[in-house]
Structure 1
């Protein structure tokens, strides 16, 4: 039997110091790269989600169309940047270079469905201030944000269908871009992220994700599709 003993004596400074030193020597578990990503981007995620009108009751078709145009203006140059990275680093091409993850074709389909011509789409502004992708760590940070947003599209797809009557054939393909493969592709990405997990690189992955959120929000702000903060 153990007995809890209470005493009123004043702690010894020597004992206190010894306890501090002992505690300092106990190894602190390092957070996984996924935990670090979630913590680092949580505030940005909430802020951007609150400012996007996609879930707001007053969403109308013109606003939705402007949002899809802005998404195209970000994803199109971003995909080119990813392709350029893989072209320069072919050894990493199996990492997340899956044609099924390409979102630009779905955005093009949506823009055409909403009445834009090829010439009008080519004239849409495109983002020039993108997150730098010059390492696997930075690529994974970018992908974490983009792939996470794809998961959120599953919820938005139903909202847009209910409020605007838009489905995959009338401008909502992007919101369900992976279709039935959404869960599989997300799990595949998480496995790749876990395989790369390393104290040497995790901070860089998290920094890249934060920068991606920052670039994306800045771009949507300039496109005039965000509500006031």
Structure 2
């Protein structure tokens, strides 16, 4: 199954990104720090979603609109008194010139929701926030159902697209790590 193969084939890049993000999250000491973290996500995910939207719509993924994260991040930023930053463009983002590459990038975005509720609770407890957490709690109690639905869509992609999807997912992890290093 493609989703399971992706998990194995992206593990190294996933762990590199996770290490960077965990460091950022552990270093949060104030609402301003958290706002900067949200702006990192907004900039990267915003640019990434703009590219994905060129190739994925309701036809490929019936709940596509529900899966967009940029608006939730912007809402959190505004709720905390900030303003959304510029979105990533050009070489800051992975190459997305097909639906297959878009699915690879979506694998990273959708996978982030699995740890999001844990991160949201960590941040809330650490900073005492009750607002500005909608991004990390994006699907709430439906997180595992939404992940299973996404994996099903992935697993129904033609088998000859696996390499393209995998390369795009790895590039998405790597470019996000680079984004954090440059802007974090």
The two structures have a TM-score, normalised by structure 1, of: 0.72
Deviation at residue 105 of structure 1 after TM alignment:
1.6
1:72 and 1:104 in contact (8 A); partners too: yes
2:20 and 2:177 in contact (8 A); partners too: no
Deviation at residue 101 of structure 1 after TM alignment:
0.5
Tell me, in whole angstroms, the C-alpha distance in 2 between the residues paired with 1:51 and 1:82: 24
Deviation at residue 93 of structure 1 after TM alignment:
2.6
2:52 and 2:105 in contact (8 A); partners too: no
Q: Determine which structure has the larger helix proportion and give its number.
A: 2
Specify whether residues 96 and 204 from structure 1 end up closer, same or farther in structure 2 by C-alpha distance, changes over 3 A only.
farther
Residue 40 (1) aligns with residue 9 (2): yes
Residue 136 (1) aligns with residue 99 (2): yes
Q: Which runs of 5+ in 2 are unaligned?
A: none
Tell me, in whole angstroms, the C-alpha distance in 2 between the residues paired with 1:162 and 1:81: 34
Deviation at residue 55 of structure 1 after TM alignment:
4.4
Aligned to 1:85: 55
Counterpart of 1:100 (choices 56, 66, 69) is 66
Specify whether residues 84 and 197 from structure 1 end up closer, same or farther in structure 2 by C-alpha distance, changes over 3 A only.
closer
Residue 114 (1) aligns with residue 114 (2): no
The two structures have a TM-score, normalised by structure 2, of: 0.88
Which aligned pairs between 1:149-164 and structure 2 lie closer than 5 A? 149-164=112-127
Aligned to 1:188: 149
What SS does the aligned partner of 1:84 have? coil
Specify whether residues 114 and 73 from structure 1 end up closer, same or farther in structure 2 by C-alpha distance, changes over 3 A only.
same
Tell me, in whole angstroms, the C-alpha distance in 1 between the residues paired with 2:134 and 2:72: 6
1:100 and 1:178 in contact (8 A); partners too: no
Tell me, in whole angstroms, the C-alpha distance in 2 between the residues paired with 1:115 and 1:43: 36
Superposed CA RMSD: 1.9
Tell me, in whole angstroms, the C-alpha distance in 2 between the residues paired with 1:82 and 1:138: 8
1:142 and 1:208 in contact (8 A); partners too: yes
Which aligned pairs between 1:1-229 and structure 2 lie closer than 5 A? 32-52=1-21, 53-56=23-26, 58-61=27-30, 62-86=32-56, 93-95=59-61, 98-116=64-82, 120-121=83-84, 124-128=85-89, 129-167=92-130, 170-198=131-159, 200-224=160-184
1:77 and 1:126 in contact (8 A); partners too: yes
- In our comparison, the structure showing a higher alpha carbon Rg is 1
Tell me, in whole angstroms, the C-alpha distance in 2 between the residues paired with 1:127 and 1:159: 27
Deviation at residue 197 of structure 1 after TM alignment:
4.8
Deviation at residue 206 of structure 1 after TM alignment:
0.7
The size of the alignment, in residue pairs, is: 180
